[in-house]
């Protein structure tokens, strides 16, 4: 039987050979590198390894500090330093107009638009790990799914929407909730079905993922399998004012979409773990971003979800990508302008529909799942092992299955892990014997060495450098690919 990937590869190769450079690593199956087997939770909420415990900070049946009901559909989230060692959490609420009949909307005092039922809330968590205060931080938007934290302490909340006046990004300041900035769309960052974003702290460039469920083009029988023509794109926003300060993103900028050099409309489902691609960026109009990316032959993904920038690498995932439709995790290296397929799901035990992600303080990649089976927090180590850190047992209010996990984020001190349960909404704070923070954790992951037969070439000079400095030759080669001077 010819698989989808073989069908597409054979069709493409008949038109011309594809020269694919193999990249720097491959991950192994679930198992090593974690914290040991999960312990059943007597409360039936979240199974964790031995020594870890969770505290429920807030649920959707609670009240905010002003007495208003807590909005439901807890989604993307980030943590920021608060006063006196506290932590500010900013939390998205992915609510659509149809949800207003059964779910509590976000009700603010300074909404973007009256027709918007979604937005963000803030939680102030004290040094003792207890919730001190909760409040609306922005309102009047729609379908706030994910977003990303900025290096200057704000949250970019993204609308996964494409209706009139909805489909934008907004900057939210947890220390100044519902200010004018929070209700002003960053129009130059594009009108499309936004998912997540993050900022390169060295350049101020913002990278953005798109989750577009449309099937915008009829399948070409020469290159596509019927029903497989969905397209989402990866974008970047080059701000006119790259200074790390509140409001700078509002000063205008250029929006571009990622394309694979010399491979128009390349479908990343063709890739295999370890493949590397030379990247070009194509200008798109903010109000026609998706249409321009499609027309100009930009690289096509299935449904992009979470993202995180760390150690000189931008990480993002495709929740439905890959041969088995179990998901893919990509790594983009701006300094060398290379895209790499870091990991593709080969079995549900390894990965099933990756969603929001983060990089841990010690340098592992953690992602939450939104699959049809179990809902887990999964970890991937720099050495290539995958492991399960947590598994949700809460049955969703609508689906009848375990509700998805969302918004993974660590407190600024790295000692508390926060995560949401989507519906019914729960925000949890998890503590325990986490590994020690590493200053080079993100950098080690960005430069993780290969674990497969197609390793990058290593010169004698580079191998000599590696031996003298206590590195593997593959790690040195990966650092060199990041653009670092290692010789």
Asked whether the beta carbons of 23 and 313 are under 8 A apart, the reply is no
In this prediction, residue 9 has a pLDDT band, given cuts at 50, 70 and 90, of: very low
Nearest to 314 by CA among 445, 131, 176, 138: 445
Residue 472 has pLDDT above 70, yes or no: no
pLDDT at 372: 73
The total number of residues shown for the chain amounts to 487
Nearest to 144 by CA among 196, 199, 209: 196
In this prediction, residue 479 has a pLDDT band, given cuts at 50, 70 and 90, of: low
Alpha helices in 359-429 (DSSP H): none
CA 68, 74, 77, 82 torsion-angle sign? positive
Q: At what angle do helices 473-481 and 460-468 cross, to 10 degrees?
A: 110
Helix (H) or strand (E) run with residue 289 in it: helix 289-295
Burial class of residue 432 in the structure, from the number of CB atoms within 10 Å of its CB (0-12 exposed, 13-18 middle, 19+ buried): middle
pLDDT at 394: 81
Encode pLDDT of 48-88 as tens digits. 999 999 999 999 999 999 999 999 999 999 999 999 999 99
CATH topology of domain 18-455: Neuraminidase (2.120.10)
Asked whether the beta carbons of 194 and 168 are under 8 A apart, the reply is yes
Nearest to 41 by CA among 426, 306, 362: 426
CA distances from 285 to 253, 254, 256, 282 (A): 11, 8, 8, 10
327: left (phi over 0), alpha (psi -120 to 50) or beta: left
Helix (H) or strand (E) run with residue 197 in it: strand 194-199
In this prediction, residue 481 has a pLDDT band, given cuts at 50, 70 and 90, of: low
Residues 6+ apart with CB under 8 A from 160: 94, 143, 144, 145, 146, 193, 194, 195, 211
Which residues of the chain does CATH 2.120.10.30 include?
18-455
- 454 vs 477: CA distance, rounded Å: 13
Nearest to 267 by CA among 301, 219, 305: 301
Residue 419, number of CB atoms within 10 A of its CB: 26
Q: Which of 156-165, 180-189, 349-358, 371-380 has the lowest mean pLDDT?
A: 371-380
Residue 33 phi, psi (nearest 5):
90, -5
- Mind giving me the DSSP string for 384-395? S-EEEEEEE-PB
Residue 487 has pLDDT above 70, yes or no: no
Secondary structure, 3-state, 81-114: ECHHHCEEEEEEECCCHHHHHCCCCCCCCCCCCC
Residue 214 has pLDDT above 90, yes or no: no
Task: Report, as an integer, the average pLDDT of 218-225.
Answer: 51
pLDDT at 485: 57
Alpha helices in 400-458 (DSSP H): 441-446
Mean residue pLDDT of the chain comes to 86
Partners of 235 in beta bridges: 208, 257
- Mind giving me the DSSP string for 164-191? TT-S-EEEE-TTSTT-GGGGS--GGG-S
- 396 vs 419: CA distance, rounded Å: 16
Residue 31 has pLDDT above 50, yes or no: no
Residues 6+ apart with CB under 8 A from 311: 359, 363, 440, 441, 442, 443, 444, 445, 446, 447
Residue 476 has pLDDT above 80, yes or no: no
Task: Report, as an integer, the average pLDDT of 388-412.
Answer: 86
pLDDT at 269: 85
> Which residue would you say has higher pLDDT here, 128 or 394?
128
The secondary structure of residue 232, as a DSSP letter, is B
Encode pLDDT of 226-271 as tens digits. 445 579 999 999 999 999 999 999 999 999 999 999 999 999 988 8
Residues 6+ apart with CB under 8 A from 64: 70, 121, 134, 135, 136
The secondary structure of residue 424, as a DSSP letter, is T
- 363 vs 427: CA distance, rounded Å: 24
Residues 6+ apart with CB under 8 A from 157: 76, 90, 92, 119, 120, 138, 141, 144, 147, 169, 170, 172
pLDDT at 215: 66
Helix (H) or strand (E) run with residue 419 in it: strand 417-421
> Which residue would you say has higher pLDDT here, 395 or 113?
113
Residue 42 has pLDDT above 60, yes or no: yes
Residue 468 has pLDDT above 60, yes or no: no
Helix (H) or strand (E) run with residue 478 in it: helix 473-481
In this prediction, residue 15 has a pLDDT band, given cuts at 50, 70 and 90, of: very low
pTM across the whole model:
0.86
Q: Which of 33-47, 214-228, 319-333 has the lowest mean pLDDT?
A: 214-228
Q: Tell me if residue 15 falls in helix, strand or coil.
A: helix
Residue 134 phi, psi (nearest 5):
-140, 145
Task: Report, as an integer, the average pLDDT of 328-349.
Answer: 93
């Amino acid at each position: 039987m010819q698989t989808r990937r073989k069908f597409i590869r054979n069709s493409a190769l008949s038109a011309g050979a594809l020269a694919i450079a193999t990249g720097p690593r491959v991950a192994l199956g679930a198992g090593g590198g974690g914290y040991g087997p999960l312990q059943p939770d007597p409360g039936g909420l979240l199974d964790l390894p031995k020594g870890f415990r969770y505290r429920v900070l807030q649920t959707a049946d609670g009240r905010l500090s002003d007495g208003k009901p807590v909005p439901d559909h807890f989604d993307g989230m980030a943590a920021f330093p608060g006063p006196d060692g506290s932590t500010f959490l900013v939390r998205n609420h992915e609510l659509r107009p149809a949800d207003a009949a059964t779910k509590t909307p976000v009700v603010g005092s300074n909404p973007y638009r009256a027709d918007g039922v979604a937005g963000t809330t803030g939680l102030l968590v004290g040094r003792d790990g207890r919730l001190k205060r909760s409040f609306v931080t922005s309102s009047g938007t729609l379908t706030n799914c994910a977003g990303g934290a900025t290096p200057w302490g704000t949250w970019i909340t993204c609308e996964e929407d494409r209706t009139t006046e909805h489909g934008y990004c907004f900057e939210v300041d947890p220390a100044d909730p519902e200010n004018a900035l929070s209700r002003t769309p960053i129009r130059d960052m594009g009108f499309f079905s936004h998912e997540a974003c993050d900022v390169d702290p060295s350049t101020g460039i913002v990278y953005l993922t798109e989750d577009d469920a449309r099937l915008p083009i009829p399948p070409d029988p020469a290159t596509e399998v019927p029903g497989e023509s969905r397209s989402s794109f990866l974008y970047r926003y080059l701000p006119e004012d790259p200074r790390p300060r509140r409001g700078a993103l509002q000063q205008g900028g250029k929006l571009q979409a990622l394309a694979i050099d010399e491979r128009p409309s390349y479908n990343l489902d063709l890739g295999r773990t370890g493949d590397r691609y030379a990247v070009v960026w194509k200008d798109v109009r903010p109000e026609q971003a998706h249409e321009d990316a499609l027309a100009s032959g930009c690289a096509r993904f299935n449904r992009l979800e979470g993202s995180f920038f760390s150690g000189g690498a931008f990480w993002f995932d495709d929740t439905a990508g890959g041969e088995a439709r179990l998901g893919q995790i990509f790594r983009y290296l701006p300094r060398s302008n290379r895209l790499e397929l870091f990991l593709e799901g080969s079995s549900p035990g390894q990965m099933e529909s990756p969603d929001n992600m983060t990089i841990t303080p010690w340098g592992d990649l953690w992602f939450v799942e939104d699959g049809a089976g179990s809902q887990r927090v999964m970890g991937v180590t720099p050495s290539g092992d995958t492991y399960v850190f947590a598994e949700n047992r809460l049955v969703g209010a609508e689906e009848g299955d375990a509700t998805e996990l969302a918004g993974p984020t660590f407190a600024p001190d790295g000692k508390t892990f926060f995560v949401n349960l989507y519906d019914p909404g729960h925000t949890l704070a998890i503590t325990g014997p986490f590994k020690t923070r590493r200053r080079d954790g993100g950098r080690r992951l960005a430069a993780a060495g290969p674990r497969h037969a197609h390793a990058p070439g290593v010169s004698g000079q580079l191998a000599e450098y590696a031996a003298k400095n206590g590195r593997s030759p593959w790690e040195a080669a990966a650092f060199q690919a990041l653009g670092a001077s290692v010789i």
